[in-house]
Chains A and B, each alone.
Chain A
């Protein structure tokens, strides 16, 4: 009944930025990490448009580097603007989480 992918979609962008903030990384690795943390539906095709948007906004930058597996691979790196974005996302997420927690854990009729 609950569309988990729809619920998680809005937060995916922030999670991708967080993963990239740890170290320079590439598409497949981002997908793997998202799946480890419960984004089971995440695929390269899901995150690619988001990576395009983040790059367009100047939150991340990319470059091609040698890959041990074969052809050159596109790596993503966080910019200074990306650091700011991450702080804002973390704060916004805490606010949303707190609000949802209050409603879900309390008796809505008492509000």
Chain B
């Protein structure tokens, strides 16, 4: 149902990627981790990855490799690629956020109902919605903006964005804990929340598909030529 130009390209990219030399795979992973949907739209991200895979294959056959072709400064290369690409898609960012939000709400409220509350209607603080929204927002922004900042780092520094994300989430939970209105408890009926989340997810995925077709318009030769 949700098969798009991006899913087709991604599938082919995964197959081609597996066949690359380990060093080339590592460089491509480092480069791609610096290119998030906050900087380049999903379709162009897959095209760039395909180009890098093709470049690596070609270089290997000429007894060279990606490291030589790109040089040691991966960050500069990523910056150049981002600067010269088509840029991000605002609609895609919004739809991507809505998709994650709906999945998170669905999973979180279902878990609370089945594991901690034992039913589909339970009593909770009214601020729970704001808390969950904040969590998703932090995760979404951290993944898209923080992770690319550390692509050139190694060891502890490379995982710095994970620690920062964890600290932000913990900070948010603490803030919500102190500012919670303990007198304002409401009955939370999970059924409509699950239904709304599922519907929002389906609509967001459908709109993403339309948006990807729009982004790929006039470039479909890539898929036809490649597959």
Contact = CB atoms under 8 A, between A and B. Distances in A.
Interface residues of B, number: 26
A63 B221 contact: yes
A28 B58 contact: yes
B81 A52 contact: yes
Interface string A91-102: 000000000000
A81 interface: no
Interface string A29-64: 000000000000001110011101100100000011
A45 B225 CA distance: 23
Interface stretch (B65-73, B129-137, B176-184): B65-73
Given A43-B70, A45-B70, A27 B81 contact: no
A100 to B, nearest CB: 26
Contacts of A72: 54, 225-226
Interface stretch (B82-90, B167-175, B193-201): B82-90
A7 interface: no
B77 to A, nearest CB: 6
A53 B16 CA distance: 25
Contact of B59 (A26, A44, A53, A65): A44
A21 to B, nearest CB: 20
B83 A49 contact: yes
A44 B222 CA distance: 20
Given A45-B77, A49-B83, A56-B86, A71 B57 contact: yes
Contacts of B221: 63-64
B61 interface: yes
B51 A64 contact: no
Q: Majority SS of interface residues in chain A?
A: mixed
B5 to A, nearest CB: 14
A43 B71 CA distance: 9
A49 B58 contact: no
Interface string A70-92: 11111000000000000000000
B225 A63 contact: yes
A63 B218 CA distance: 12
Number of contact residues on A: which range applies? Answer: 20 to 34
A69 interface: yes
B62 interface: yes
Contacts of A56: 84-86
A95 B214 CA distance: 41
Contact of B222 (A49, A64, A71): A64
B80 interface: yes
A64 B86 contact: no
Given A28-B62, A63-B225, A64-B226, A48 B81 contact: yes
Contacts of A27: 55, 58
Contacts of A70: 57, 61
B58 A69 contact: yes
Interface of A: 26-28, 43-45, 48-50, 52-53, 56, 63-65, 67, 69-74
* 7 A-B pairs closest in CB distance: A45-B70, A64-B225, A49-B80, A53-B84, A44-B69, A52-B84, A49-B84
